[in-house]
Structure formats: C-alpha cells, structure tokens
Chain A
Amino acid sequence: MSNTIIDRQPEIIKSKILRALESNDLSVQFSDSLDNEMILNMGPQHPATHGVLRLLLSLDGETVMKCVPELGYLHRGYEKLAEASTFHEFIPHTDRLDYLQPMANNVAYTLAVEKLIKLEIPDRAKYIRTIIAELARIQSHLLAIGALLMDVGAVTPFLWAIREREKILDLWDLICGARFTNTYTRIGGTAQDISEEIIDGIKKFIKEFYGNLKECRDLVERNKIFIIRTEGIGYLEPKAVIDIGLTGPLVRAAGIEQDLRKDDPYLIYDRLNFDIPVYDDSDALARYYVRVEEMIQSARIVEQCIEQIPAGPHNALNSKKVLPAKQKVYTKMEELINDFMIINFGINPPKGESYGAIESSKGELGFYIISDGSGYPFRMKIRSPSFSNLQGLPEMMKGCFISDTVVIIGSVDPVMGEADK
C-alpha cells in the first residue's frame, strides 16, 4: 500500500517521508525489521479519522511502532485570506474553522478584535456570548463522545447524543437564523438580540439535558466492553502532555488544572460559579469523563447566565467600529454613512499587536492579530487547539493496536477544518 503513494512523488520527498517513519528504537528492537515491518497508510479518506487526517503507521504485526500524521488536506489558506478581508468580513470564515462549534469561534474572534481596538461591550452582549459559547461546548462535546462511543461499537449513545445536538442546532436557528454556519457575533456585540422565546427554549433544553445525558451515561459507563476498550489506551505522561503543548480536555484528563476561563477570565466567567473537572489517568476513559463532566458544568453556567442576564442594548455604542442597526441604515443619513465607511474601509484599529484567546471545547483557541493601522489585518495567526492536540498522536500511539488507533483519534477529538486552517 505504501509503495503506490510514495513512489509517485519525487525522490527527495520519498526519502524525507521514509526518514520520518524510521526510528532508532525500532531498528534496535528488531534486527530483521524488513521481515516484520509493514507500512500502513490510513486516511485521508477513512471514516474513523474524523475528517481528512492521514496517518502513516509503521506496524509490527498488529502493533503500531511509529505513527506519522500528515496534515494539509483541508488547507484553505485562511490566514492569507484574512490579510485580504476587513475585520468584519472574516467573521463568516471563522465558522469554517471548527465547524462543530461555529458559535465559539465567532466569540473567540470578535473578542480578540475587541481586545485589539480596546472596545468594551455591554453586559447583555457578554451574557449572550457566554450562553452561546457554553452551548457550543455542549454541542461539540456531544459529538466528540458520541463519535468515540460509536468508534468502540456502541451506536445507540451516538444517536442519543445527536438527538440532543439537534436541539442545540434548532436553538441556533432561532437565535441567528442559521443552523450550521452561524456568523452570529459582530464586533461590539451580536447581530441580533435574543428574545424571551429563545430564553425559554434554552431553559427547556437545559432542564431536559441533565436527564438525557444521564440516560446516555447509564448505557455506557458500566459497560465492560467500553471500559476495556478505553482504559489505559492512549496514555500520555503529564510531563509529556505539557511538553507537547496540549490544551483543553487532554490536559485536564492528565491531572493538570488548566483552564483559561479560570486562569485569565474573559467575558463574565469571574462572576459565575462552576468547577473544572480534572482526572488523573490521562487515557481515553479519563478524557471521556472530563468531557461529560464539562457538559454538566456548561449547563450550570448557562442556567446561571439565564438567571442573571440584564436588560439593555446588545451592541456597544461606537459608531466608528460597530455596525449600526439595519433599520437605521435605511432611514437615517448618519448611520448610512457609518455603515458605508465600516463596510468599505474597515474599522482601522490602532497600530500594534494583540492576542486574544478563549477556552474552546478543544483547548486554547486564540487569534494573534498584527495591525498596521489600515482596515485589514497585517497578519493574523490562528492558534487552533486541534492542530497542537494532534501533535500528541505519535506519542500516544506508540505500542498500541491498530484497532486502538481509532479510539485514540476519537479521544483527541480533532476537527480538521481547524487543524488545517
């Protein structure tokens, strides 16, 4: 299998990829490695790789000796595109980064831009953003654990998780009119306010969610097959977890309490009461538990936000940076001019650099923006958690079976749209 793919490429590349596959410990342990070794190409079109992830596995029998991930099959050049679009124009592109939780990407991007232009947003907008960011976390974790369970052979919990996820998509439909690519936040606030009807819908969803999640958990958590397939699989030492730069649930499953919501609170997280679940085992099972507990904490956060949410405007008052309401653009001269200027020339942030990050469901999602004073960013770097989490794969896969690779990928929960940018 390996020959057909590697042979087509020029000599130099062939040697480079093969050199990466060869390892020192492999040749030490097996003197006749040519007899035992086989190279298996997994992906990019493989249902268990969660997108277009390609893995080159070097096998000894059924054991994985070395794994080399190949990225770039979904590379769309968003960082180059960002340099050619105004700060508002880039918001729809962020939906396509981590497409399992577009709302959280919108929030992360607009927060980073607001930090650059030093714009304070009203309280109501902060609460709305916290609610949608936490619902997005539930949305993403539901798919993550659903897919992990389906990868180990349990189909029912996957369907039940998707059923819950469907309700969140319906809520997105009410909030912004789109189910999948939301583009809901704007610089300085949100596109629309949320109505009482939506708040009732969220309340109803959260109320049912605790019971439905428990139903799901009862199915799997005492299931012997699930525990045998995940316990001790994909183990990574806490020291290695820090060294490889993993963030998010992978770090918290290794016994390290690290969460930007507590370490460097953004939005209104410092006013809320919630816990950070931490487990010590650092394997696929611990990661499953961290994600499940995080969903419960997210539901708690949403409940508190709905209780505390104040009335008031949902957009900041700054006519040079914030898009005016559409009705006013059509009827008032001043707003029409401001709208024209923002759309055509951008918001012109001051010269300088800024980094804003949030704790998304996968880890630290950050935007490093360099501005030269024009309406377009001079350089924008997306710090995507999936990309750096994937770097842990080679270490986690050493010595596991081929069937475990699927579980390990599921426990890392990469989204290739974000990893490949």
Chain B
Amino acid sequence: MTEERILVLKSKLSSFKIELIDVNGTPGVIIPKENLLEVCKILKNDNELSFDQLVDAIGVDRFTKKDRFEVIYNLRSVRYKDRLFIKVKVDANEPNSPSLVPIWGSANWYEREAYDMVGVEFTDHPDLRRMYMPEDFEYHPLRKDFPLMGIPGSLPLPNK
C-alpha cells in the first residue's frame, strides 16, 4: 500500500477510534467491535479505498486476561492491487463479534473456520456450523488450553 493510500485511509476513517498498525510491511487497522460493521462498509464501498475482496479470516487465542481472542481479516483490493489487515479484539467473557457476511460473502466459511478452531461466535452469521470438526465436538482445538494430544474420549469412536 502506498503512502498516499494510507493517508486516504486515515482521513476516511478519522471519525472512528481506530489504530493504525504495521504487519511487517503491510498496513493494518485495529477496529473496536462496536464500529466494525460501519468501518467495513466504508472500506468496501468507498471508491478511493475499494477493498472489495476478503481472502481470509484468522482466529487467534492470545491467552491474555483481557481481550483474549483476536480475529484478523485479510483484505485485498482488486482495483489498487494491495492488501490491508483488520483486527478485532474479542474478550473471553463475551466471545462474540459481528459477522461480516453481509459485507463480504466470503466471510461465511472463514468465520465458520475461526468459530470451529478458536470458538469466537459471530453474531448474525447465517449458517454458523463447524467447518472441520464434527458438530458434537465440545472443544475448540486451536485454543491454547487445548492439549496437542487431544482430550481422550472427546471424539467418539465407531462401535465394534
């Protein structure tokens, strides 16, 4: 992303409480949960920003007391050919975040994966099922308190 584009981004989002970060050369924004949908609408629909493609959502378990979880969205712009990361912090007491499916359709499966692996619930998601694990599995494997070897008995084996 060029310097000019970052300035445009700053001016367009100046009315929100956002924080600009640098992900090893790629810009990113930390957005409060309450403003997420509004900011994302601007990011997608504004002609000068035009981040029209969502290519990934990453669920992270930071294992801290406050803001334990984090969801990172990976955006690409087809017109300007560059990339932007969005970060949303989610507390463990109420592990939910607004779903971005109404804005980018591709968020559907990415958020299902993040829900399956880390256990962040996405409110207003049209079809929040698990992506990889069976539906009756109780745990979220990519949480830091889930052991690497798994929990015995958590996956039922077929009867002999």
Q: Across the two chains, which residue of chain A brings its CB closest to B21?
A: A353
| Contact B106–A9 (Cβ < 8 Å) | no
A10 within 8 A of B: yes
A123 within 8 A of B: no
Contacts of B104 in A (CB 8 A): 243, 245
Tell me the complex Cα distance, A387–B110, Å. 9
Tell me the complex Cα distance, A79–B72, Å. 16
Known A80-B148, A116-B24; contact A243-B132, beta-carbon cutoff 8 A:
no
| Contact B24–A242 (Cβ < 8 Å) | no
| Contact A391–B109 (Cβ < 8 Å) | yes
Q: Which of B25, B55, B85, B141 contacts A364 (CB 8 A)?
A: B55
Main DSSP-derived SS at the B contact region: loop
| Contact B72–A368 (Cβ < 8 Å) | yes
Tell me the complex Cα distance, A387–B55, Å. 10
A72 within 8 A of B: yes
Tell me the complex Cα distance, A88–B74, Å. 26
Contacts of A390 in B (CB 8 A): 109
User: What band does the interface of chain A fall in when counting residues whose beta carbon is under 8 Å from B?
Assistant: 35 or more
| Contact B74–A388 (Cβ < 8 Å) | no
| Contact B55–A244 (Cβ < 8 Å) | no
Please encode chain B, from 90 to 110, with 1 for each CB lying within 8 Å of some chain A CB and 0 for all others: 000000000000001110111
B26 within 8 A of A: yes
| Contact A388–B133 (Cβ < 8 Å) | no
Q: Which of A71, A72, A77, A383 contacts B55 (CB 8 A)?
A: A383
Known A243-B106, A379-B60; contact A353-B23, beta-carbon cutoff 8 A:
yes
Tell me the complex Cα distance, A387–B112, Å. 12
| Contact B74–A80 (Cβ < 8 Å) | no
Please encode chain A, from 233 to 270, with 1 for each CB lying within 8 Å of some chain B CB and 0 for all others: 00000001011110100000000101000011000000
Q: Which of B52, B110, B135 contacts A13 (CB 8 A)?
A: B135
Question: Which residues does A use to contact B, with CB under 8 Å?
Answer: 9-10, 12-13, 16-17, 19-20, 71-72, 75, 77, 79-81, 83-84, 115-116, 240, 242-245, 247, 256, 258, 263-264, 352-355, 364, 366, 368, 370, 379, 381, 383, 387-388, 390-391, 420-421
**A–B complex contacts, Cβ < 8 Å, 21 sampled:** A9-B136, A19-B127, A20-B127, A72-B130, A79-B142, A80-B146, A242-B78, A244-B106, A264-B83, A352-B24, A353-B24, A354-B24, A355-B83, A355-B85, A368-B56, A383-B55, A383-B56, A388-B106, A388-B109, A390-B109, A420-B132
Among all A-B residue pairs, the 9 with the closest Cβ atoms: A245-B106, A72-B132, A354-B24, A263-B81, A75-B132, A13-B135, A381-B58, A243-B105, A383-B56
